Amino acid sequence: MIPRLACLSLLLVLPLAGLARGPQDRPGDGRRPRVIVSTDIGGTDPDDFQSMVHFLLYADMFDVEGLISSPYGPGRREHVLQVLERYATDYPKLKTHSDRYPPPDALRSVTKQGAIASAPPGGVGRPTDGSNWIVQRARQTDSRPLWVLVWGGIDDLAQALHDAPDILPKLRVYFIGGPNKMWSVEAYDYIERQFPALWMIEANATYRGWFTGGNQTGEWSNTAFVAQHVAGRGALGEFFATLLGGTIKMGDSPSVGYLLHGTPDDPSQPGWGGRFVRVWDDRKTVFGGMTTAADTAESFGVVEFALPVPSGMTRAHSVEMLFDGRIPAAGENDGRVLRFRFSPRDAKVWPYVIRSDFSGLDGRSGQFTAVPPPASRTRRPSSRHPNWWIDDPDPAAAEGIHPGAKHVNRWREAFLRDFAARLERSRN
């Protein structure tokens, strides 16, 4: 007769059948992932606060080597520290469950300020405490790779690679792209051009499966889960419950889930952080002039406008292209060509207008249409980017308009159930 406790353990493991090594059986002999989180917490999207709560409750599963505040908006290092204050309150209870939770002061000591604005045209600017910290940790003597989970702009990573190209082989990057790529397209374009061998998962839409689709009934809905399993669970849980009206988003948490349950060395395998395919070529579209809605470019790709510098315009003139009335792209003027770069997050018509103190350009406008890539293109993996992975374009893996999202939300009950168990560790 199987003891009741063994039965319970079996039931908890069954939903994860077929997945590789999980948290419960990962050895504590130094094989835990080395992790740096780069987050725009406190910036344009408060769901980073939620994901930071989630990450800290699993901090005993990782060697946490850095927490970096990255662009945009008002997000700063102090916002990371605000969550660490809640962690410090819960720490005495957490460490009774695992002696591997890092002390709050240890986490404060590796919390760094990264870039506070997007990279200039060209993709890199000046080193930051955050970019320098990535370099320092990547150069440590350690046989394990350094995982960099990018929840915001990818600017600090671009700067680190620019300043220390030798760190490239040590890096494993999970980039929550989509809107973050849209706001940090200059840094992204620099990495893609200069470091095509980078090992990177570019999750432009797969991450949405954490809060979209899957089992949303009863206690598993985005609001009911917070009320039933988050509120009242320590300082971290109480803080989480105040965010976004008590609704789950946690859009950056798939990067953490990827390391918790799955096969991190092989992105083509299933897991909580998604399942990915090799990236394809021709994702960048260059327009040599103003465009109309009849002109198309790949959604989530890079669009570059290369316009001849008009007669009489100098590098002293200011110029930018404003997309959708809200997203600016600074112009890069080499004396012959003006370049503007943008990454269209959604498949739709994108209007734009040029703003400049040079009258010959100011007010010129146009539009283009972002479209999904054709299957004939996505079926051919890039030979130039051998270690670059991206959302699965198979329509069967999409949740509505979000490619790859079903590769995450299929595990919704499993990762939320596990999160609920973690929250119980700090219950008041």
Closest-CA residue to 67 (of 47, 88, 39, 90): 39
Report how far residue 371's alpha carbon sits from residue 380's, in angstroms, rounded to the nearest whole number.
Answer: 18
The residue extents of the domains of the chain are 29-280+380-424, 284-372
Q: How do residues 135-150 score in pLDDT, each as one tens digit?
A: 999 999 999 999 999 9
Which CATH architecture best describes the domain 284-372?
A: Sandwich (2.60)
Query: Given this model, what pLDDT does residue 19 score?
Result: 35
* Amino acid 44: pLDDT: 62
Per-residue confidence (pLDDT) for residue 72, from 0 to 100: 67
**Distance (Å, rounded) from C-alpha 319 to C-alpha 363?**
11
269, 275 in Cβ contact below 8 A? yes
Which superfamily does CATH assign the domain made up of 29-280+380-424 to? Ribonucleoside hydrolase-like (3.90.245.10)
For position 17, what pLDDT does the model report? 33
Q: Dump pLDDT digits (tens) for 210-235.
A: 999 999 999 999 999 999 999 999 99
Residue 117 confidence (pLDDT): 83
pTM: 0.91
Q: What is the pLDDT of residue 206?
A: 98
Neighbours of 334 (CB within 10 A): 10
Q: 146-166 pLDDT, tens per residue?
A: 999 999 999 999 999 999 999
Question: Is 335 strand, coil or helix?
Answer: coil
Task: Decide the pairing of beta strands 34-39 and 146-150.
Answer: parallel
Spell out, as residue ranges, where the chain has pLDDT lower than 70. 1-30, 43-45, 72-73, 428
Buried b (16+ CB within 10 A) or exposed e, 256-273: bbbbbbbebeebeebbbb
pLDDT score at 75 = 74
- C-alpha 227/C-alpha 240 separation (Å) is 10
> How many Cα atoms sit within 13 Å of 103 on the Cβ side?
3
- Separation CA 330–CA 70 (nearest Å): 19
Which residues, in sequence order, are CB contacts of 150 under 8 Å at separation 6+? 38, 70, 157, 173, 174, 175, 176, 180, 255
Contact 106, 131 (CB under 8 A): no
- Residue-wise pLDDT for 32-47, tens only, equals 999 999 999 986 668 9
CB-based burial label for 12 (10 Å; 0-12, 13-18, 19+): middle
Residues 6+ apart with CB under 8 A from 420: 225, 229, 230
